[in-house]
Amino acid sequence: MAESDNPISRRTLLAGATLGLASWRLWAAQPAEIKVGLLVPLSGLYARPGNVMRHGAEMAIDHINAQGGVKALGGVRLGLSVIDCGDTTEKAKNAAQRMVAQQTDLVAAIGAYLSSFTLAVTEVTERASLPLLTLSYADSITDRGFKYVFQTSATAQAQAEQALPEIMKLAQAATGKRPQTVAIITDNTGASIASVKPMRERLLAANGLKLVVDETFTPPLADATSLVQKVRSARPDLLFFLPTVISDAKLVLEKMNEFGLGQGRIPTVSFGIAIAEPDMLQTVAPEFLQGVLTCVANWGFKGHEALIAEFKSRYKEPWMTQNAISTYGDMWVIKNALEAAGKADRASVATALRTMNGGPSKYYPGGEVRFDAKGRRVGAGMTVVQWQSGIPVTVMPPQLAMAQPVWPKK
Amino acid sequence: MGRRRDARLGLKQGNAVTALVEGIFQALVAGLLIGAIYGIMCVGLGLIFGVMRVINFAQGDFMMLGMYAAFYCFTAFGVGAVFGTTWGPFVSILAAGPILALVGYVVHRLLISRVSGTRTASLEGEGHHAQLVLTLGIALVLQNGGLMAFGSVLASIRTPLSSSAWELGPFLDMSVFVNKARGIDALMAVAIMAGLALLISRSRLGKQLRAAADNSVAATYMGIDVDRAHRIAFALGTGITAIAGGLLATNYPFHPFVGVDYVIVMYAGVVLGGMGSIVGAFWGGMTIGLVQQMSTLILPTQLQNAAIFVVFLLIVFFRPQGFFGRNVERT
């Protein structure tokens, strides 16, 4: 009778102590913060997009931590380790080497903006068995048999395959006839070359387009006269323009206008983000951009109005580019991999990424949050963005569009 | 009118010869215009490297500062508001020259003078090793300081002239465009070059600079303050390169690391023109502009910068003293 009056029995006390000790040991085994690396250019020619990627990563980490961190690890917070990869492939590779040597507590990383940088960086991260998520496009990034690189964007080839038929349909609907001839002006960076290669080999012919000008340049250009003069002489129905440096985009668009070819006289379709970066408005008059289309792996799209509004207000950015939203999404993918792994080590995170089945993607256009054997996101789609009244808006695919596409014609 | 419009829009696809000739003229014009800007860019370095024998790897970064000085004169200090978007950029560019000349004067007084001029006697390799390290250090400080001060957002001196052109023709179904901003840039570059040539050849200051450059010891014996002459040359060189940067910026958006792309062009131009020759440096820069643009007529565009260095090597091989250099001053 006396025993039953005592609210804490000896067994209860022992069980409680054991549980407490076990919890403490579990807590002690987890780091105070789980570090994710962000290896992006923060100096040199590409510092601006690198900074925008940083903003996307920071915002994701704040949201993840505000929602309780990594719950499978007792609510451990995510932390960001930012590393500047500079503006050349050599600097990017050196930065990656420093990162894996000095920051052994990283469980995963995101990088490195330009495909050429990502190709160099992943040579290092692969040897260090560090999982790396990338928004870079080049097919070769995931064509080398690497096990620790995960491409969340559609590859350049996949984007070209998806985009060309849609562009042709749009042109035909607006003008009543399909374009017959095309000029290509591209820089020689990894993503641009990867986009153009399947076009030259088969996609142009498959879409009934004849290539009349094919020019490749090394960025940055000093002057665009010779390139645009060739377009002027050939007078194609379409121009495919693939820059990765904003100054090149400005020089070509202004030269097109100077030669009387701009503002829709030769409809211009770009591939990649450079031509839709906010910096374009600092350098080019909005009327030269009106109607220019670009095919991008990701962009702020329908359903993300609140996220876009927060990003704009927090970082004083005019819109949310691929660099921001893809990096934001990548951070959530890493968080989900940590939840699935239940351990804060890179091997477990890599295994979790390989076996992940996260259902339809929320922060990327189309497809699922699942990776195939090469490390490519399954069913990855793309967006087509168009400059309309001084803002690049998502116009395709229809289910993600925030405005109707308008074919530039004069 | 119809013919004029057809020529403007290039509607003569059938005539390959016309298109080729038009392409040649267009490349020639583009080469001359960009070459004039490269020319005074090289003249700025020519004063410092060619005359003072100071290896200055920060010259591209002084050019970058010149671009930002012109940009802020135009946008923040009211020049744009007073002179408008057509002439305001050029007034701002001219204002950037003296500002950067002052910066150059101070940098020389505080830093460069310690590894150049009369002090090189006590330094290894005539002070060149120390100059290399010092100017590389200044370049790094300017680049990263620029990133902190100006940010990574591209800046641009925007003028409607950068996207409009004077049309020459049509003649024989051809027309050639001369970009208005680049055209004015080129005229300013030539005027500055002519003014500098007069200053160097006719003025008392010019004589002092030439004497200090030719033989600094003898110049000292003649009562010339060689250190002061070098300081003035450094300031002039920095100011002229700043103006060149401003002229470039009317068409070319820039960022704190833009100088890296142009410092090699400057050195190549100075060596091509001939060490010690200011006029030679201008023609060296002009040659680079012409080769860069004309090479695209026969070579893939991505090789246009490689073409510059092929021509550079050929000239160094066949005429090692450069266009205007003396035989004793071999490149």
Residue type, A245: V
Say if residue A141 is in the same domain as residue A47.
Answer: yes
- Contact assignment for B253 to A265 by CB distance below 8 Å: no
Mark yes or no for CB contact B152/A48 under 8 Å: yes
In a shared domain, residues A318 and A389: no
- Quick check: A7 pLDDT over 60? no
Average pLDDT of span A7-22: 61
Interface test with B, best of A42, A186, A258 (most B CBs within 10 A): A258
Q: Are residues A197 and A110 in the same domain?
A: no
Would you call A226 and B252 a contact, using CB atoms and an 8 Å cutoff?
Answer: no
Mark whether A180 and A234 lie in a shared domain: yes
Q: Is the peptide bond before A220 cis (omega within 30 degrees of 0)?
A: yes
CB contact under 8 A, A226 and B255: no
A7: in domain: no
CA of A257 vs chain B CAs: smallest distance (Å):
6
pLDDT band at A155 (very low <50, low <70, confident <90, very high): very high
pLDDT (tens digit per residue) in B74-94: 998 888 889 988 899 999 999
Mapping DSSP to helix (H, G, I), strand (E, B) and coil, where does residue A272 land? coil
Same domain for A357 and A388? Answer: no
Q: Which of B6, B24, B143, B154 has the highest number of chain A CBs within 10 A, making it the mutation to test binding with A?
A: B154
pLDDT(A4) > 70: no
Q: Which residues of B touch A265 (CB under 8 A)?
A: 9
Nearest partner of A252 among B38, B301, B28, B167, judged by Cα: B301
Same domain, A274 and A319: no
Chain B neighbors of A255, CB-CB under 8 A: 163
Q: Using CB atoms within 10 A of its CB, is residue A316 exposed (0-12), middle (13-18) or buried (19+)?
A: exposed
Looking at residue B198, its pLDDT comes to: 92
- A11 inside domain: no
Does the beta-carbon distance from A222 to B252 stay under 8 Å?
yes
Q: Whole-angstrom Cα distance, residue B36 to residue B30?
A: 10
Are A57 and A146 in a shared domain? Answer: yes
Average pLDDT over residues A377-392: 94
What ipTM does the predicted assembly reach? 0.85
pLDDT at A286 over 70: yes
Is there a single domain that holds both residue A133 and residue A202? no
User: Rounded to whole angstroms, what are the CA distances from B147 to A128, A370, B68, B77?
Assistant: 32, 39, 12, 21
| Cα–Cα distance, B331 to B329 (Å, whole number) | 6
Task: Report d(CA A336, CA A356) in Å as an integer.
Answer: 9
Tell whether B305 is within 8 A of chain A (Cβ).
yes
| pLDDT value, residue B1 | 40
Higher-pLDDT residue of A169, A331: A331
Residue A16 included in any domain = no
Inspect the interface and report whether the beta carbons of A279 and B253 lie closer than 8 Å. yes
Residues of chain B with pLDDT under 70: 1-14, 50, 118-125, 326-331
Chain A residue numbers touching B24 (CB-CB < 8 A): none
Residue (of A101, A103, A99) closest to A91 by Cα position: A99
Q: Is the pLDDT of residue A317 over 80?
A: yes
A42, A217, A279 member nearest B302 (Cβ): A217
CA distance A207 to B67: 45
Select from A42, A53, A225, A245 the residue whose CB has the most chain B CBs within 10 Å, as the one to mutate to test that interface. Answer: A225
Please check whether residue A203 lies inside any domain of the structure.
yes
Here the CATH number for the domain that contains residue A361 is: 3.40.50.2300
A104 and A138 together in one domain = yes
Question: Before A397, cis peptide (omega within 30)?
Answer: yes
The partner residue sitting opposite B19, judged by closest CB among A215, A222, A233, is A233
For the segment A155-174, the average pLDDT, to the nearest whole number, is 90
| CA neighbor of B195 nearest in space, from B64, B90, B35, B40 | B40
Cβ–Cβ under 8 Å, residues A108 and A133: yes
* Residues of B with Cβ-Cβ distance to A235 under 8 angstroms: 9-11, 13
Nearest to A371 by CA among A138, A127, A107, A148: A148
Residue A61 CA to residue A78 CA, distance in Å, equals 6
Nearest CB among A51, A223, A283 relative to B34 is that of A223
Beta strand A391-396 pairing with A383-388: antiparallel
- Average pLDDT over chain A reads 90
Chain B residues whose beta carbon lies within 8 Å of the beta carbon of residue A227:
296, 301
Q: Which residues form the domain of A250? A: 157-296+384-396
Distance from C-alpha of B19 to C-alpha of A234, rounded to nearest angstrom: 9
Residue corresponding to tokens 């023609």: B283
DSSP state of A218: P
Q: Is B153 exposed, middle or buried (0-12, 13-18, 19+ CB in 10 A)?
A: middle
Nearest CA-CA distance, residue B29 and chain A, Å: 9
Residue A89 resides in a domain: yes
Instruction: Report strand pairing: A149-151 vs A106-111.
Output: unpaired
Beta carbons of A232 and B253 less than 8 Å apart: no
pLDDT of residue A43: 84
What is the pLDDT averaged over residues A92-104?
96
Measured distance CA(B283)–CA(A44) in Å, rounded: 30
Tally A–B CB contacts below 8 A: 123
Contact B302 A218 (CB under 8 A): yes
What is the average pLDDT across A281-293?
Answer: 90
A344 phi/psi in degrees, rounded to 5:
-95, 60
Q: What pLDDT is stored for residue B166 in this prediction?
A: 92
In A, minimum Cα distance to B305 occurs at: A218
CA gap A126, A107 in Å, rounded: 13
CA B25, CA B176: separation in Å to the nearest integer?
A: 7
Q: Do A45 and B255 touch (CB under 8 A)?
A: yes
Residues contacting B171, CB < 8 A, separation 6+: none
Could you give the number of structural domains in chain A? 2
Phi, psi of A302 (to 5 degrees): -55, 135
B53 dihedral zone (left: phi>0; alpha: psi -120 to 50; beta): left
Closest-CA residue in chain A for B174?
A233
- How far away is chain A from the Cα of B4, in angstroms, using its nearest Cα? 12
| A134 and A162 co-located in one domain | no
Distances (CA, A) of A4 to A8, A227, A387: 9, 93, 77
CA distance A344 to A108: 10
A291 lies in a domain?
yes
Kindly list the residues from chain A whose CB atom is less than 8 angstroms away from the CB atom of residue B152.
42, 47-48, 50-51
Quick one: pLDDT at residue B2? 46
